[in-house]
Structure formats: structure tokens, C-alpha cells
């Protein structure tokens, strides 16, 4: 029972933010090469959703947003 809890915690604390960062990087790389598309918007939206799931807030470039 404790092992499952630790595994769940590791998944949420480590794997989810890494997947979100990877999706964001892939989206940025594709967007730089080919411009904005449905796929890049989906990658960015998915990364935002995963970051909200893990409890980490997305860094904002400007403070007024």
C-alpha cells in the first residue's frame, strides 16, 4: 500500500512535469520550423494541462498577466 503511494507520488512529482516540458519543447521546435498549427496548439494546451495537474504554475514572462 505504501509502495503504491510512493509510486503515484513519483509519477506526479517527476514524470508529469518532464512530459509537460518535453511537449512544450517539441511544440516550440515545430512552431519555429513550420509556424503555428493545430498540432502545436494541442501540444501547448496539453503541456499547460499537465502542469496544472502536477500543481506547478507556468512561469509568466510579464507580471501583468
Does pTM top 0.75 for this prediction? Answer: no
Residue 42, C-alpha cell as written in the block = 494541442
CA separation (Å) from 15 to 4, 8, 21, 44, 60?
A: 15, 10, 10, 17, 22
Determine the straight-line distance between the first and last CA of the chain, rounded to whole angstroms.
42
**Rounded Cα distance, 19 and 48, in Å:** 11
- pLDDT tens digits, 13-60: 888 888 889 999 999 999 999 999 999 999 999 888 888 876 656 566
Amino acid at each position: 500500500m505504501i509502495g503504491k503511494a510512493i509510486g503515484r507520488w513519483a509519477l506526479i512529482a517527476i514524470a508529469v512535469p518532464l512530459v509537460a516540458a518535453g511537449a512544450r519543447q517539441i511544440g516550440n521546435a515545430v512552431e519555429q520550423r513550420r509556424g503555428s498549427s493545430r498540432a502545436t496548439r494541442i501540444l501547448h494546451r496539453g503541456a499547460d494541462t499537465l502542469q496544472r495537474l502536477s500543481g506547478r504554475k507556468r512561469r509568466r514572462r510579464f507580471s501583468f498577466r
